[in-house]
Amino acid sequence: MKLRNLVLAFLCIFHVSMATAFGADAPPAKPQSWRLLADRTAASHDNKYIEAFGNVVLDRGTDYIRADYARYYQATKWVFLRGGVEARFQGDFLKAEEAEFDLETNTGWLKNGQVFMEDPHMYFEGAILKKTGPETYEFREATVTVCDGDRPAWSIKSSRGDITMDGYAHLWGPRFQILDQPLLLAPYAVIPVKTKRQSGFLLPEIGSSDRLGITYDQPYYQVIDEEQDVTLYSHLMTAKGLMLGAEYRLVPDIHTKGIFKLDYLYDQETESQSLYSDNEEMSRANHSRWWARGKFDGYLLEPDWNLKLDLDLVSDQDYLREFSHGFSGFKKSRKDFLQYFGRDIEDSDSELRVNRLLLSRNWANVGFQGLLEYTQNLEYGSNNNLSNHDRDDDPTLQRLPELNVHLYQTQLLDTPLTIEGSSQLASFWREYGTTGTRLDLHPVIGLPLHFEFGSVIPKGGIRSTTWFVEKYEGEDPEVDADTSTPNRFLPDFSTSAYTEFSRIFTLTEESDVPADDDTFTILKLKHAVQPRLEYTYIPFSDQEKYPYFDEIDRIEAKNELKYSLTNIFTCKTGKVQPSPDEQGKTGLKIDFFDLARLRFEQLYDIREETRNNDTDKYPNRPFSDILADLTTRVTPWLFLTNKTWYSPYEGHVTEHEHALSVHYGEDIFASFSMDFLEEIDEYLRQEQERERIASFGGGFGINKEWSTAFLYRVDWESGTDLEKRLTLRYDHQCFSAETSWSQTDDDTRFEFRVILAQLGSLGR
């Protein structure tokens, strides 16, 4: 009887379209219909509806409805369900005591029900939930949360509201709850229920600082269209005032992207002395403070003409160091620019802010670059009280414009010679100082000689430089100011010789790789040695009579020989794993990685060997420090970079650059870095002072929820702590809480953040 009723219900009531299964001539397929499975079915006496009892299942594709009892009205395709109702509609999961649905429009209602939206991972639970459309709901006395469990960590209870999938939930009379206990009330609230970009307020950032007071930073995110958005910031600081900011982002196509940021503050305070300068005259007198920065990558007319823009202008010399944290701080801006453009901005303590507009294009053998560069010098006209640093006295050089053409190395006609070179036409302008235009041409001819055991490549070039001076002002007395178009010819010569030899050591045969080992086994080790010898010669030429704009105007004489020896250790590894081609069989997966790279380098300066001046005070020292440059990943969890310079004359190390990082999975990480300079009194290094700066950092997961991290930077030479930071973080399934304490030589900060999943994840 059960089987008979099931078959009748399946065949007579809920049709399944099978037309497309009979060939190409079949009529177009209709939407798949619902089918019914149940322990028992019965029809009403007038055949207006069908009742199903026990283990009732209605399904259509991936959608389904389960209940203990169902009543289906054939004319209206309306179904009433009762007892353990569960349903899935287009990714939404529903539960209820009772429910009614229109199977044509996917509308209906739930009593004492719950809706779970899988994509935003959000729950809606209430006494009455109405499904008003395929992607919309209405509810009364409902609770909203993204937390799993019967007692969510946080939730929002609302007297009434509505939801739009991939849109928003509008809540009236919402009450924010923690563990079912009300904490905050509001007359109205909107929360996002989609994973795409959406407009709305983001979670604020709250903290305290010795210099700024109590801080509250509230961002608002606005979507303009699919290619543009803007974030507005209101940053309240009790000791400073209200800072307003905006960040505009655009990505109109795969070749174009840009980020532009602007912040403004009317500061309640001025400074009688610069916070970060020993110069008493470097005080800040301005109340209006601002910072404009941005980067843009795009093209002009067509993608082959690359266009890049760097913007960085600031109101005063203290701004970037005083406001380094937060949404609009220096550190966040620098991180964004490096992440999205791969280009940095000047350090926060730099008094020069560089702005560039670069247009470039490359052909097969020729490259072109056009540059406009403006450099803001914060010592001049930047709201400080330096009496002798008026804007009219600013000697900062501006390039407006600079044109470069590069000829890449190519064969010269049908000869064995190669030709390459560069040319530059630059116009220099500044408020005070010599201005004009410079044309610099530098062609180079080479003769590559390749032998069985290596290569030798000699090159010879000549540099021709002509200056077109508009005015001489403030130049060295030795400059010939009577000549408006001086010119210079300077030859140069270089040659390089290099080779490579290697040996391969077998550590494990491929047949001996264990099949039960999940890690890669080292099969072979290749040791490659690359010796290289380079010689460079540029004759001495008295260039003091020429105007000076940059280093091209003073080409230093060179007569030096440099050698280097590079060792590269490469591992071949293998791991047994299932064969992708034949089921049930295994194969050996081969991989390669660089185990270590070790380079030694030293320079011999022939000019220093033959120097005659000041030899009584500074003896001749033609050999440079020996550089040992090591990069290695001994294990997957240990990475080391190290540069060490050793003086053959001092008999000890003169400079260190260390960086060591260790990590174990995602639970433990640590890092150490050390920069060390030894004081040197040599002819070429008279001003190198002793310096020791170390950085210690790390963190570990206490358990699945709790983790901590720390950073300590110290100047050991002066005994000064540069930065100390300690962070404690708690990660829950639906929220994260983070508290951090940091201290520098000028400020102490305490910050606390709570990131609620779905509510506070955007823009963070």
3-state secondary structure 690-702: CEEEEEEEEEEEC
Residue 60: the pLDDT is 84
452 Cβ contact list (under 8 Å, min separation 6): none
SS3 content of the chain, % helix, strand, coil (to 5): 5, 60, 35
> Looking at per-residue confidence, does 397 or 392 come out higher?
397
Residue 509: the pLDDT is 86
> Looking at per-residue confidence, does 588 or 26 come out higher?
588
Residue 5: the pLDDT is 41
Residues in a beta bridge with 759: none
Residue 197: the pLDDT is 64
Mean pLDDT of the chain: 85
Residue 116: the pLDDT is 87
pLDDT, tens digit, 9 for 90 and up, residues 626-654: 999 999 987 778 889 999 999 999 899 99
Q: Are 102 and 126 in contact (CB under 8 A)?
A: no
Q: Are 727 and 742 in contact (CB under 8 A)?
A: no
Residues in a beta bridge with 464: 441, 489
Residue 272: the pLDDT is 59
> What integer is the mean pLDDT of 386-412?
87
Scanning 502-552, the segments in alpha helix (DSSP H) are: none
Of 56-60, 233-237, 354-358, 583-587, minimum mean pLDDT range? 583-587
| 29: pLDDT strictly greater than 50 | no
Q: Are 762 and 755 in contact (CB under 8 A)?
A: no
The encoded tokens of residue 659 equal 């960086």
- How far apart CA 193 and CA 757 sit, in angstroms, is 11
Of 174-188, 223-237, 626-640, minimum mean pLDDT range? 174-188
| 16: pLDDT strictly greater than 80 | no
- Report residue 687's pLDDT band, with 50, 70 and 90 as the boundaries: confident
Of 400-414, 469-483, 496-510, minimum mean pLDDT range? 469-483
> Looking at per-residue confidence, does 684 or 445 come out higher?
445
| 487: pLDDT strictly greater than 70 | yes
pTM (whole model) above 0.85: no
pLDDT, tens digit, 9 for 90 and up, residues 63-118: 889 999 999 888 888 889 999 899 887 777 888 999 988 888 778 888 888 888 77
- Report residue 242's pLDDT band, with 50, 70 and 90 as the boundaries: very high
Give the rounded percent of residues in the chain with a pLDDT score beyond 90. 43
Residue-wise burial string across 478-494, b where 16 or more C-beta atoms lie within 10 A, e elsewhere: ebebeeeebebebebbb
Residue 32: the pLDDT is 66
11 Cβ contact list (under 8 Å, min separation 6): none
Residue 628: the pLDDT is 96
Q: Are 673 and 667 in contact (CB under 8 A)?
A: no
- How far apart CA 277 and CA 442 sit, in angstroms, is 42
Domains annotated for the chain, with CATH where assigned, are 2-199 (2.60.450.10), 200-303+310-348 (no CATH), 691-764 (no CATH)
| 666: pLDDT strictly greater than 80 | no
Of 526, 533, 578, 534, nearest in space to 558 by CA: 534
Of 381-385, 400-404, 474-478, minimum mean pLDDT range? 381-385
Q: Which residue has the tokens 């091209």?
A: 552
> What integer is the mean pLDDT of 7-26?
34
- How far apart CA 229 and CA 225 sit, in angstroms, is 7
| 135: pLDDT strictly greater than 60 | yes
> Looking at per-residue confidence, does 44 or 404 come out higher?
404
Of 479-483, 659-663, 707-711, 751-755, minimum mean pLDDT range? 751-755
> Looking at per-residue confidence, does 259 or 508 come out higher?
259
Residue 72: the pLDDT is 87
